[in-house]
Amino acid sequence: MRTVCFVGDSMVRGWDMPAEDAWPARVIAAETRRGHPAEGFNLGIAKDTTRAIGRRWQHEAVGRLASALAAHRARAGLVFAFGLDDMADFGGDGIRVALPDALDQAEQIIAAATAWAPTLWIGPPPLACLPRIIGRPDGLVYPAERSEALAGAYRGIARRLGVPFLDLHGLLRASPHWRRAMARWQAGRPAPELHDMVTQAVLGWEAWSAWWGRSATAAPPIRTVAAGFRPLRVEAGRLV
């Protein structure tokens, strides 16, 4: 059995959906259905910045992964997804974490994680498909251009550290399904399609598939929960 801790911010916690319905639970359930024994822990906290994640992730993960690591390193896994809540404005106070500080925090987290356990890193999704300033009823405002800058900087850090990186920004930015789902989330409504699309992106990711000893191209279309939502396909490196 592989034990996986998913660590991050609002994106990991559920984007206004219960954690048991979020994409981390879905990818673990998908692998279990395929005959790969797995358990997952959602260690996402809504609105968490990388500063907060850096302070807590090791303490929270060590107890959950200790047995798996003791048995065999390959039985443990860490999946990180964070950053958008660093780039948000809250209550008109300006950016929560300046980009240079956010990048330094991210590199420290990922470097420490890869030295300890098998680690995968999922980059921030696109916001540029929406108006430049994305405000929500909870008071968070997401300037869309910051997500693109963050994704690009994260790609560079991942290459330097040699950690597998899933570029959600590049994969989803052209998807009309993503734009519609993000519009619902922007309005403060649950958007299960966001989790459908991230789930499919992860299941089709070569680095994730390698953890389970299968080919990424062997991943079948996932079952979705949104009425009328059709399975996505990958064309020219993007979900459509």
Map out the domains of the chain with their CATH numbers.
2-239 (3.40.50.1110)
Q: Considering the chain, what is the average pLDDT of its residues?
A: 83
pLDDT for position 139: 60
SS3 content of the chain, % helix, strand, coil (to 5): 50, 15, 35
Q: Which helix H or strand E contains 66, and what residues bound it? A: helix 50-71
Structure tokens at 7: 């660590």
* Contact call for residues 234 and 182 (beta carbons, < 8 A): no
Count of CA atoms in the C-beta half-sphere (13 A) of 228: 3
CB atoms within 10 A of CB 164: 18
pTM of the model as a whole: 0.85
Q: Are 240 and 201 in contact (CB under 8 A)?
A: no
Q: What is the pLDDT of residues 86-144, one digit of tens each?
A: 877 766 667 788 889 999 999 999 999 999 999 999 999 887 444 444 455 556 666 66
For 175-229, what is each residue's pLDDT tens digit? 888 888 888 877 777 778 889 999 999 999 999 999 999 876 444 444 433 322 2
In angstroms, rounded to a whole number, what is the distance separating the alpha carbons of residues 217 and 233?
11
DSSP classification of residue 164: -
